[in-house]
């Protein structure tokens, strides 16, 4: 029997940090990941990680205020306070573990400016910060000898008598199904970017953990809060880091005007992401774009700075757009990037299902509220990964393993698989996924309205029917990616349901949720979280108050 005190699902930054913390708390811990750990999407994080270090006169309260304002006052302020006070110690820990952050001219840890923040507090490793941190944490896990189920795919959570006590998973290399018993499970499965087409996210980012939790009755919260990043490449959706604007790049419309002066005269290109994306979309919609895009101009930054700090962007420009950013502006547009919503947790990472925890992008504790600040996500993953790892280990401590009828679970899955393998239709996951992604982008993008969201809601049963018909071309069990993509599509459909229902419920514009039919923020009625819970009678929508500690909502200007 495979069994561990603490089982961490996901080997991105949240998962690795959680596993390390659980290990340090004395638990027998394992990580399970559908890809090799360092291929997790955290690897793609370019720009950096925020922290307010006091050695340069910064302080956590300013960071907290910027985060709260960025969240459009929807973030829970107790959680934000915790994140911002822990940021410094967490950053220094990472440095001590071996992350080689860029230095400034005086040899101290260097910073770059990021959007929505009064000062430069983003620490970085060139433009591959996520990769640098992920590799260092992986080394730590290897040193600690933590078991990694590499290229294993979690299919379902096991909940008995209301407690989470393990998972059903498939070893991708063989296609064999196993039960892994655990006293606590931490979901660190990342976001759901690929539910939208296009997206900056890797192909593997399909909302699995959010759906797994939703399926066992854990509420998801503020799922309507979908971040569109201001600078993604046309068509492919590949990300151009906010670090480019942090280093001074300009946004121009077709007339060569720095249009942000009309929308955010103080912070210009470095206003928060929702504001910049809306401004770009307005320029495009009002005919001042070029072929659905505006331009990002890096030319004045100079070749040396670009080579030193934006080398990956230089390559991305050449490879994916055929543009040399040193010589010409690059066309960009707002594109799906991040989900602020996720599995509702408390600050210890607990969901409402005992034994089930969540951290990182799949969770919503809620530090990002209606809009996440750039470089606050990596911070969220390490701070709350760390804390949930510790608490999941405490929960497991002294508990006995539950007796599970392993054969029943495995046989149940085998039966589902044989039904799936025996289908003979022309319906394929790829076309459904594309159609769903385009519909999500169209109706849940930068601007939304009731009519669009209702029409999307009405389309979902049709997508589900097609999904129920989808058949596989690859009928083998060994490394069957056809099967994996199909299973992921099932998770995506659950996520879509909660996003649309959340969007319809929230009748105001706040953060990333901009409704043309309710253009204003409405604190009187909607300073609230929106929760969606799956019940036997279908999804149920409810609300919860936002935690305010000391920052009262104000008008948001940049």
Taken as a whole, the chain contains a residue count of 558
Count of alpha carbons within 13 Å of 323, Cβ hemisphere only? 19
Which of residues 148 and 268 has its CB atom nearest to ligand FAD in the complex? Answer: 148
Output the smallest distance, CB 510 to ligand FAD, in A.
Answer: 21
Which of residues 42 and 281 has its CB atom nearest to ligand FAD in the complex? Answer: 42
Output the smallest distance, CB 5 to ligand FAD, in A.
Answer: 19
Output the smallest distance, CB 46 to ligand FAD, in A.
Answer: 5
Which of residues 188 and 221 has its CB atom nearest to ligand FAD in the complex? Answer: 188
Which of residues 12 and 511 has its CB atom nearest to ligand FAD in the complex? Answer: 12
- Cα(391)–Cα(380) distance, integer angstroms: 16
The residue nearest ligand FAD at its CB is: 12
Residues engaged in binding ligand FAD (CB under 6 A): 9-15, 32-35, 40-42, 44-49, 129-130, 153-154, 188-191, 200-201, 204-205, 208-209, 239, 338, 360-362, 375-378, 381
DSSP labels, 96-134:
HHT----B-TTSSBPEE--TT-SS--EE-STT-HHHHHH
Q: Label residue 59 exposed, middle or buried (CB < 10 Å: 0-12, 13-18, 19+).
A: middle
Q: Which residue in the list 23, 39, 229, 521 is annotated as catalytic?
A: 229
Which of residues 456 and 499 has its CB atom nearest to ligand FAD in the complex? Answer: 499
Which of residues 239 and 275 has its CB atom nearest to ligand FAD in the complex? Answer: 239
Token pair recorded at residue 368: 């990002």
Do residues 330 and 240 make contact, with C-beta atoms less than 8 angstroms apart?
yes
Q: Where are the alpha helices (DSSP H) in 425-530?
A: 429-443, 450-469, 481-505, 523-526
Bridge partners (DSSP) of residue 8 are: 31, 186
Selection from 440, 429, 2 nearest residue 178 by Cα: 2
Output the smallest distance, CB 520 to ligand FAD, in A.
Answer: 29
SS3 469: helix
Output the smallest distance, CB 381 to ligand FAD, in A.
Answer: 5
Element spanning 191, H or E: none
Output the smallest distance, CB 498 to ligand FAD, in A.
Answer: 17
Q: Label residue 392 exposed, middle or buried (CB < 10 Å: 0-12, 13-18, 19+).
A: buried
229 is catalytic: yes
Q: Which residue in the list 41, 245, 250, 428 is annotated as catalytic?
A: 245
245 is catalytic: yes
- Cα(353)–Cα(334) distance, integer angstroms: 36
Catalytic positions, written as ranges: 229, 245
């Amino acid at each position: 029997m495979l069994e561990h005190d603490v089982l961490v699902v996901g080997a991105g930054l949240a998962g690795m940090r959680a596993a390390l913390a659980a290990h340090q708390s004395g638990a027998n811990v394992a990580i399970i990941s559908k890809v090799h750990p360092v291929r997790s999407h955290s690897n793609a994080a370019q720009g950096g990680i925020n922290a307010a270090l006091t050695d340069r006169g910064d302080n956590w309260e300013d960071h907290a205020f910027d985060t709260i304002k960025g969240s459009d006052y929807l973030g829970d302020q107790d959680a934000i306070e915790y994140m911002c006070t822990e940021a410094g110690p967490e950053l220094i820990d990472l440095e001590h573990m071996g992350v080689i952050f860029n230095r400034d001219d005086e040899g101290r840890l260097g910073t770059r400016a990021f959007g929505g923040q009064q000062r430069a507090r983003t620490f970085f490793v060139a433009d591959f910060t996520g990769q640098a941190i992920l590799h260092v944490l992986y080394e730590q896990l290897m040193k600690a000898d933590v078991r990694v189920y590499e290229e294993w795919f979690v299919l379902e959570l096991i909940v008995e008598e209301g407690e989470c006590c393990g998972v059903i998973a498939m070893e991708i290399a063989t296609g064999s199904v196993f039960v892994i018993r655990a006293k606590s499970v931490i979901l660190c499965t990342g976001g759901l970017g690929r539910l939208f087409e296009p997206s900056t996210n890797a192909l593997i980012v399909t909302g699995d953990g959010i759906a797994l939790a939703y399926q066992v009755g854990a509420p998801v919260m503020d799922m309507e809060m979908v971040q569109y990043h201001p600078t993604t490449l046309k068509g492919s959706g590949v990300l151009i880091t906010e670090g480019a604007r942090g280093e001074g790049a300009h946004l121009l419309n077709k007339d060569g005007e720095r249009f942000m002066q009309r929308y955010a005269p103080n912070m210009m290109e470095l206003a928060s992401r929702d504001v910049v994306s809306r401004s770009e979309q307005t320029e495009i919609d009002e005919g001042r774009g070029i072929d659905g895009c505006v331009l990002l101009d890096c030319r004045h930054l100079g070749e040396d700075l670009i080579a030193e700090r934006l080398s990956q962007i230089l390559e991305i420009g050449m490879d994916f757009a055929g543009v040399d950013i040193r010589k010409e502006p690059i066309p960009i547009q707002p594109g799906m990037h991040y989900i602020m919503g996720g599995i509702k947790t408390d600050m210890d990472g607990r969901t409402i299902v005992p034994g089930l925890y969540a951290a990182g992008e799949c969770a919503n504790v809620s530090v990002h509220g209606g809009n996440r600040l750039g470089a606050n996500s990596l911070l969220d993953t390490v701070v709350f990964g760390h804390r949930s790892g510790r608490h999941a280990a405490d929960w497991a401590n002294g508990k006995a393993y539950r007796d599970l009828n392993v054969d029943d679970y495995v046989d149940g899955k085998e039966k589902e698989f044989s039904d799936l393998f025996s289908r003979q239709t022309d319906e394929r996951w790829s076309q459904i996924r594309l159609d769903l992604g385009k519909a999500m982008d169209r109706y849940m993008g930068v601007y939304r309205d009731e009519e669009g969201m209702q029409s999307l809601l009405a389309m979902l049963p049709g997508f589900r029917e097609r999904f129920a018909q989808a058949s596989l071309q690859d009928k083998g069990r060994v490394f069957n990616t056809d099967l994996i993509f199909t299973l992921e599509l099932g998770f995506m459909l659950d996520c879509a349901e909660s996003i649309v229902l959340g969007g319809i419920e929230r009748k105001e514009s706040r953060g990333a949720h901009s409704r043309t039919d309710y253009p204003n923020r409405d604190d009187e009625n909607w300073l609230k979280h929106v929760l969606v819970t799956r019940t036997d009678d279908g999804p149920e929508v409810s609300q919860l108050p936002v935690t305010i500690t000391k920052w009262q909502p104000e008008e948001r200007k940049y």
